């Protein structure tokens, strides 16, 4: 009966010129895991989580900056 309307796509989405997602999305969970482990070892979980967030965002930002520099 009714057809589903297609949502408009952004130019370059899934195409040859599409951009890679931010590296922060990859490194944030890695930093969080390391931070939680450090927090458990240091017996201060809040500090470990904070350090993990900072570490993940910093690593992701560095990788993103290197990617942009190579393009």
Q: pLDDT tens for residues 54-69?
A: 999 999 999 999 988 8
pLDDT band at 20 (very low <50, low <70, confident <90, very high): confident
Q: What is the mean pLDDT of the chain?
A: 81
22-25 long-range contacts (CB < 8 A, ≥24 apart) are 22/60, 22/64, 23/59, 23/60, 23/61, 23/63, 23/64, 23/67, 24/56, 24/57, 24/60, 24/61, 24/64, 25/60
Cβ atoms 49, 37 nearer than 8 A: no
Predicted confidence (pLDDT) at residue 35 exceeds the cutoff of 90: yes
- Rg value, the chain, Cα: 19
Please determine, for residue 2, whether its predicted confidence score (pLDDT) is greater than 60: no
């Amino acid at each position: 009966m009714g057809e589903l309307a297609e949502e408009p796509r952004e130019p370059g989405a899934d195409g040859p010129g599409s951009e890679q997602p931010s590296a922060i999305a990859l490194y944030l969970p890695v930093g969080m895991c390391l931070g939680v482990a450090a927090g458990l070892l240091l017996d201060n979980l809040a500090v470990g989580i904070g350090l993990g967030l900072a570490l993940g965002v910093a690593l992701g930002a560095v990788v993103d900056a290197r990617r942009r520099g190579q393009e």
